[in-house]
Amino acid sequence: MEGEKRPAPYEGLFADGHLILWTLCSVLLPVFITFWCSLQRSRRQLHRRDIFRKSKHGWRDTDLFSQPTYCCVCTQHILLGAFCDCCGLRVDEGCLKKADKRFPCKEIMLKSDGRALDAMPHHWIRGNVPLCSCCVVCKQQCGSQPKLCDYRCIWCQKTVHDECMKNSLKNEKCDFGEFKNLIIPPSYLTSINQMRKDKKTDYAVLASKLGKQWTPLIILANSRSGTNMGEGLLGEFRILLNPVQVFDVTKTPPVKALQLCTLLPCHSARVLVCGGDGTVGWVLDAVDEMKIKGQEKYIPQVAVLPLGTGNDLSNTLGWGTGYAGEIPVAQVLRNVMEADGIKLDRWKVQVTNKGYYNLRKPKEFTMNNYFSVGPDALMALNFHAHREKAPSLFSSRILNKAVYLFYGTKDCLVQECKDLNKKVELELDGERVELPNLEGIIVLNIGYWGGGCRLWEGMGDETYPLARHDDGLLEVVGVYGSFHCAQIQVKLANPFRIGQAHTVREQIETPRCCLVNPVNDHVELKFSISFMTLWSQKTATQLNRRKHIKRSLAPCLFPDSSPPLLSSYIPNPFNFVA
């Protein structure tokens, strides 16, 4: 035992030092690599944003293309990179600058105004042609080879094989293809610019060269509506139309976007609103402002692509409950071109708030869908308030309806609108109506309510005439609470039908429990006495799908050309607000 050597103290310390060193390396090295990678990624993002900002292309970056894609510059297969949502050009990240210099984007206006309206050549881009596209020369499929091949015109969307491309085809004039009656040609805007310099405003003479069927379309999309599909639809419409015709209403308000109609012939423009009922109301508010400014002859015809949660107006007009990409955008444009007109009643709503010491100024709105006081309006107000705080959380129709279910369940327990009949006096066409023990009163103009429920008909077991949107009558119903609303939506109960009338008046005496919520200005009643009156304002012409057209989702609204009463617009006072 005495002859055994003991390890020196410094050897143990040395071994412990090695352990500490390797432990620090194993911890700090991944942290350093992660930090370095994130720094490089941030630099690349800043570099891309700088290129995007200076470029004439509408570049969008993506981490994964949805189909086999090849770079238009280096011709290599790429999984991620950038694409232009105006001309459809797709490039690798390292080829962005070269693509900017080599390939021009869609021209909103021509550089020279000496070119005639019918003399614009094709604008060909090579590669990444749409799937199942056919060559205009040999009628065979294009883009079938696993490489960058074949050409596509970014205006008329025609495709042609590499071997079929000839000089005569390159110099051939472009007819703008299937949607030529919806596209605003760049040469037209160039001529308009020259006419305005010469102080001429006779645009009809200029438009006559484009044909009698030319009805240019303006796209107004809400990227926050319903399923947040607006952003992708904006790019698809820019590819098919002139980018100057496509607007995001969250960035460009409809009031400004609709000024494009003043550069078009009288009563020729159409507007496609991609959003929910609330977005439609926002656009029709802008239409009313055009009438105030004396631009009545430029009023456009308004069509709707339903992206909201409920889309009751769209459903009433027979265009479905919502668009989720099940049909291509090209088919949506075809539906807009082939739509017919029908009538839709619109109603004026006046709310007078009487406080304890003074009579407040009345508020006036225009109702298009329905108007409610009670638990359904309370759910809509709570939903609207929370979506304004965190809009990114409300990106799905299913999630949005789940939120409504949560607030409906909460109201079943709290019952904030209990004994509404004791606090409300209701008059139909000047006659007072005795009410049972209700919690809510709903005034209907259209057949659907609450995201697809036929409220007036209920379970359908009683012989009541169908609610119409063009009969000049309002349907007034009552509900016994949130649970009763849920029973009606699944056809397990009927509403309490109060009656039909041309004029409806409500007097409410309550500190808070009853709510009225216009779509664009959700109002909470916190006063002692309120008078609400609804009467007929005017009839508007709506677009309805033709019977021979297959079921699709492109509802259209044609506002009446006669001057309306000046007011705001309330298309959806219940809960499904876009």
Dig out the tokens for 408 from the structure: 């409906």
CA max distance for the chain: 119
**Residues whose CB is less than 8 angstroms from the CB of residue 323 and which lie 6 or more positions away in sequence, other chains included:** 229, 305, 306, 307, 332, 553
- Contact between 418 and 439 under an 8 Å Cβ cutoff? The reply is yes
Q: What is the pLDDT of residue 549?
A: 33
Dig out the tokens for 424 from the structure: 């409300």
CA–CA separation, 288 and 299 (whole Å): 9
Q: How confident is the model at residue 542 (pLDDT cuts 50, 70, 90)?
A: low
Q: Is the dihedral of CA 561, 520, 450, 483 positive or negative?
A: negative
CA–CA separation, 253 and 389 (whole Å): 21
The 10s digit of each residue's pLDDT in 36-86 is 888 877 777 777 777 878 888 888 888 888 888 999 999 899 988 889 988
Neighbours of 48 (CB within 10 A): 15
Q: Is residue 482 classed as helix, strand or coil in its secondary structure?
A: helix
The 10s digit of each residue's pLDDT in 285-316 is 888 888 888 888 888 888 888 888 778 888 88
Q: How far apart are the first and last CA of the chain?
A: 88
- Contact between 244 and 58 under an 8 Å Cβ cutoff? The reply is no
Q: What is the pLDDT of residue 70?
A: 93
Dig out the tokens for 231 from the structure: 């952003």
- pLDDT above 70: residue 411: no
Q: What is the pLDDT of residue 578?
A: 26
Angle between helices 375-389 and 482-489 (to 10 degrees): 90
- Contact between 380 and 309 under an 8 Å Cβ cutoff? The reply is no
Query: DSSP secondary-structure letter at 244?
Result: G
Angle between helices 482-489 and 397-414 (to 10 degrees): 140
Query: 28: number of CA atoms within 13 Å, CB side?
Result: 6
pTM: 0.79
Q: What is the pLDDT of residue 317?
A: 74
Strand 270-275 relative to strand 217-221, pairing: parallel
CA–CA separation, 186 and 106 (whole Å): 9
CA–CA separation, 176 and 495 (whole Å): 53
Average pLDDT, the chain: 77
CA–CA separation, 516 and 523 (whole Å): 6
Q: What is the pLDDT of residue 570?
A: 29
Determine phi and psi for 61, rounding to 5 degrees.
-90, 150
- pLDDT above 70: residue 338: yes
Q: Containing H/E element for 28?
A: helix 9-54
Burial class (CB in 10 A: 0-12, 13-18, 19+), 374: buried
The DSSP bridge partners found for residue 529 are 354, 509
Torsion, Cα of 279, 186, 117, 87 (10° steps): -100
Question: Which of 307, 166, 321 lies closest to 226, judged by CA?
Answer: 307
Q: What is the pLDDT of residue 14?
A: 59
**Mean pLDDT of the region 411-427:** 77
The 10s digit of each residue's pLDDT in 107-143 is 888 875 445 555 688 899 998 998 888 998 888 999 8
- Contact between 573 and 369 under an 8 Å Cβ cutoff? The reply is yes
**Mean pLDDT of the region 238-257:** 93
The 10s digit of each residue's pLDDT in 249-264 is 999 999 999 999 988 8
Q: Is residue 366 classed as helix, strand or coil in its secondary structure?
A: strand
Concatenated DSSP letters of 303-332:
EEEE-SS--HHHHHTTS-S---SSS-HHHH
